[in-house]
Structure 1
Amino acid sequence: MAGQETGERIGALLDELAQRAGPEARDVADELVRCLMEFYGEGLARTVRLLRSAPAGADPLAVLTADELVSDLLILHDLHPEDTATRVGRALDKVRPYLGSHAGDVEVAGLDLEAPDGPTLRLRLRGSCDGCPSSTQTVRWTIEEAVARIAPEIEHIEVEGVASGSPEPALLQILPHRPDDPPGAAPPSAPAAEAARWYELGPRSLPADDGATRITEVAGRTLLLVRLPGHLYAYRDPCPLCSAGLAPALLDGELLRCAGCGAAFDVRRAGRGDTGHLDPVPLLEEDGAVRVALPGELLGAGP
Structure 2
Amino acid sequence: MAGADPGARITTLLDRLGREAGEQARETADELVRTVVEFYGEGLARTVRLLRAAPAGADPLAVLTADELVGDLLILHDLHPEDTMTRVGRALDKVRPYLGSHAGDVDVVGLDAEAAEGPTLRLRLRGSCDGCPSSTQTVRWTIEEAVARLAPEIAGIEVEGVAEDGPEPQPLLQILPHPPDDAPGAPPPADRERGPDEPPHWHTLPAPALPARDNATRVADVEGNALLLVRLPGNLYAYRDRCPACGAGLRTAALDGEFLSCAACAARFDVRHAGRGEHAHLEPLPLLEEDGAVRVALPELLGARP
User: Aligned-pair distance for 1:288?
Assistant: 1.6
Question: Given the superposition, is the C-alpha separation of residues 46 and 36 from structure 1 closer, same or farther in structure 2, using an over 3 Å criterion?
Answer: same
Q: Name 2:169's counterpart in structure 1.
A: 171
Aligned partners of 2:236, 2:78: CA distance in 1, in Å?
36
User: Aligned-pair distance for 1:275?
Assistant: 2.2
- Match of residue 302, structure 1, among 297, 301, 305: 305
Q: Name 2:120's counterpart in structure 1.
A: 120
What SS class does the counterpart of residue 19 from structure 1 fall into? helix
Q: Name 2:214's counterpart in structure 1.
A: 210
* Contact 1:207-1:227 at 8 Å conserved across structures: yes
Q: Which amino acid aligns with 1:175?
A: L
User: Aligned-pair distance for 1:87?
Assistant: 0.8
Q: How does 1:145-156 map to 2 (within 5 A)?
A: 145-156=145-156
Residue by residue, what CA displacement relative to the aligned partner does 1:230-278 show, whole Å, maximum 9, x if unpaired?
A: 1100111211112222111111111111112222211111111222211
User: Aligned-pair distance for 1:160?
Assistant: 0.9
User: Aligned-pair distance for 1:297?
Assistant: 2.2
State the superposition RMSD in angstroms: 2.0
What SS class does the counterpart of residue 235 from structure 1 fall into? strand
Q: Which amino acid aligns with 2:238?
A: A
What SS class does the counterpart of residue 239 from structure 2 fall into? strand
Q: Name 2:286's counterpart in structure 1.
A: 282
User: Aligned-pair distance for 1:217?
Assistant: 1.8
Structure 1 unaligned segments of length 5 or more: list them. Answer: none
- Match of residue 238, structure 1, among 216, 237, 242: 242
More divergent stretch after superposition (255-264 vs 51-60): 255-264
Question: Given the superposition, is the C-alpha separation of residues 24 and 184 from structure 1 closer, same or farther in structure 2, using an over 3 Å criterion?
Answer: closer
Structure 2 unaligned segments of length 5 or more: list them. Answer: none
Aligned partners of 2:3, 2:204: CA distance in 1, in Å?
39
Q: Name 1:136's counterpart in structure 2.
A: 136
User: Aligned-pair distance for 1:155?
Assistant: 1.5
Question: Given the superposition, is the C-alpha separation of residues 187 and 18 from structure 1 closer, same or farther in structure 2, using an over 3 Å criterion?
Answer: closer
User: Aligned-pair distance for 1:186?
Assistant: 9.1
What SS class does the counterpart of residue 261 from structure 1 fall into? coil
User: Aligned-pair distance for 1:114?
Assistant: 1.6
Q: Normalization by structure 2: what TM-score?
A: 0.91
Q: Normalization by structure 1: what TM-score?
A: 0.92
Aligned partners of 1:14, 1:83: CA distance in 2, in Å?
36
Residues 1:252 and 2:256 are matched in the alignment:
yes
* Contact 1:192-1:297 at 8 Å conserved across structures: no
Give the count of matched residue pairs: 299
Percent identity (aligned): 71
Aligned partners of 1:186, 1:19: CA distance in 2, in Å?
30
Q: Which amino acid aligns with 2:305?
A: G
Residues 1:16 and 2:19 are matched in the alignment:
no
User: Aligned-pair distance for 1:5?
Assistant: 2.7
User: Aligned-pair distance for 1:3?
Assistant: 6.7
Q: How does 1:173-188 map to 2 (within 5 A)?
A: 173-176=171-174, 177-179=178-180, 180=183, 181-182=186-187, 184=189, 188=193
Aligned partners of 2:188, 2:107: CA distance in 1, in Å?
30
* Contact 1:184-1:198 at 8 Å conserved across structures: no
Question: Given the superposition, is the C-alpha separation of residues 264 and 186 from structure 1 closer, same or farther in structure 2, using an over 3 Å criterion?
Answer: farther
Aligned partners of 2:287, 2:113: CA distance in 1, in Å?
28
More divergent stretch after superposition (98-107 vs 190-199): 190-199
Residue by residue, what CA displacement relative to the aligned partner does 1:140-181 show, whole Å, maximum 9, x if unpaired?
A: 110111111111111111111124xx3522432113152223
Q: Which amino acid aligns with 1:136?
A: T
Q: Which amino acid aligns with 2:273?
A: R
* Contact 1:194-1:295 at 8 Å conserved across structures: no
Q: Which amino acid aligns with 1:223?
A: L
